[in-house]
Structure formats: structure tokens, C-alpha cells
Amino acid sequence: MRDLVIVGAGGFARETAAAVRAVNDARPTWRLRGFLDDDAALHGTTRAGLPILGGTDRLADLPDAAVVVCVGSPRDYRARRRIVRRLGLPEHRYATITHPSATVGAGSVLGPGTVLLAGVVLTADVTVGTHVAVMPQAVLTHDDRVHDHATIASGVRLGGGVELGLGAYVGAGALLREGVTVGAWSLVGMGAVVLRDVPPGEVWVGSPARRLRAADAPAEPGGAPTAAERAADAPAVPVRPGDAAVPDTPGPASSELAVPRTVGS
């Protein structure tokens, strides 16, 4: 068993803790040490029966612990990426958490730091990048591609061949027609029915979904991502066990090698 800490102490963090406990009930895998949160008022308290150990600076005292970053909301869905960038940890430090009731179909690939909660279904050949949050009962069908730091809320249904861009947020119960694309950092509102492509950086709502406004762009250390960065920051090329690591698709913001991903049976 390996030590695991969860960054964040809100609802998503507690849901992930419940998923980790379910994993351990099926097969002991993780020693869940507790939460890390930079809100000093929470330090020394407990959430979901686990201690809040301190801020993220405590990671220096836990060099062998795996980490999963569980923050973000529709009000600030860049938060997960912002924290991952600030932590600067290598990808091998990040855990991939899959609730035992989730289904990961053949040929599907999950990046480090990604969380699948209860009842999620990936049918076949679904590619999910790093630090993606997939909430309960979401269904991703054949050949979907979900880029890094995206969020898929509960009950979402993606038709085949859908692509969610870097950091995209899809609200609870939304339906996306096969083959559509949601651009980087766009938000699809809860219950929306998306029948055509959503450009980057927009909020779409309704049935059929239409543009409401430009998406908010909370300030980030070092500035918000540029257009070139958004285009380059796609999921790494999937590497299956036994394959050699290969470079990511070349781009101005990506020069690292791909790492092994969790692969469906």
C-alpha cells in the first residue's frame, strides 16, 4: 500500500476520499493520510473522518506519498490546473482514482491525477487526459477525447467522438451530440443539449445550447493560458503497458515525454 494525500477539502475532495475507501474495500491499495488545504482556518480539523494535515507545503514532509488534486467549481474551474502548476510535481507522483463501480472499457486510457467517481462509464476507446474530474453517473462513449483539467459533472452524456478541450467544464445532466467539440476553458451549463461545436472560452446554456457570454478568466500566476498554450496542452499520446514512451504531439507548450497511463482491459 502507498500513502495518498488529497489536495483540497471541499465536496469533490470528500467524494474522492469515499472513492478511495471503496477501492480499499475491494482491494487494499492506499493509506489515505488526509487532506491538504491552504486555508489555515481548516488546519487541525477533520473532514469525512480524515484530518486536514496542513497546507500544500506539507508535501515536502511526504516525499513518497501519491497526490490527487480535488478542487474546482463552476465559479473557478481553472483552480485545479493552477494548483497542479504551482506544486510542480512529476506526473508519477499523481494517483489515478477509479471507483470500483466505474466501468473503463477496452482501449480506454486515463491520465495521472484523474478521478472517476461512482457509476461512471467509459464504453470503448475513450482517452482522458491528466487531472480530469468525472462525477457520478457520467457516460463517455466510443472515441471521446477529454483533454487535461476538464470537469464532467454528474449525469453528463457524451455521444461518440466528442472532444472536450483543455479545462472545459460540462455541467450536470448536459447532453452532447456525437462528434461535437467543446473548446478550451468553455463552460456548458447544466441540462444543456449541445448540438454543435462550442468555441473556446465561451459559456453555452439551454436546449438547444446557445452562447450566453464569454467565460470568466480568473487570474492565474504567470497569466492566463495563451491561445497557443491551449492548443498545445492536449492529453499526452497514450502509452500502453509494454510500449516505449514517445514524445507528445509537438507544440510550443509541450516538450515532455508521455508516461504510461491507466488502460482499460
pLDDT tens digits, one per residue of 42-52: 999 999 999 99
CB of 10 closer than 8 Å to CB of 17: no
Per-residue model confidence as pLDDT tens digits over 213-246: 999 865 444 334 544 344 444 444 343 333 333 2
pLDDT at 265: 53
pLDDT at 38: 96
For residue 84, give the nearest of 167, 191, 176, 173 by alpha carbon: 167
* pLDDT higher than threshold 70 for residue 263: no
**Catalytic pick among 92, 99, 131, 142:** 142
pLDDT at 234: 43
pLDDT at 217: 60
72 in a labelled binding site:
yes
Q: How many angstroms separate the CA atoms of 235 and 241, rounded?
A: 17
* pLDDT, mean over the chain: 87
Q: Which domains does the chain have, with CATH numbers?
A: 2-71 (3.40.50.20), 98-214 (2.160.10.10)
Please identify which residue in the block is written with the cell numbers 472545459.
Answer: 168
Per-residue model confidence as pLDDT tens digits over 63-101: 999 999 999 999 999 999 999 999 999 999 999 999 999
Per-residue model confidence as pLDDT tens digits over 110-147: 999 999 999 999 999 999 999 999 999 999 999 999 99
Active site residue 142: yes
Residues paired with residue 73 on neighbouring β-strands, in sequence order: 76
Q: How many angstroms separate the CA atoms of 93 and 96, rounded?
A: 10
Per-residue model confidence as pLDDT tens digits over 12-31: 999 999 999 999 999 999 99
Alpha helices in 62-175 (DSSP H): 79-87
Q: How many angstroms separate the CA atoms of 143 and 147, rounded?
A: 13
H helix count then E strand count, the chain: 3, 25
**pTM of the predicted structure, to 2 decimals:** 0.85
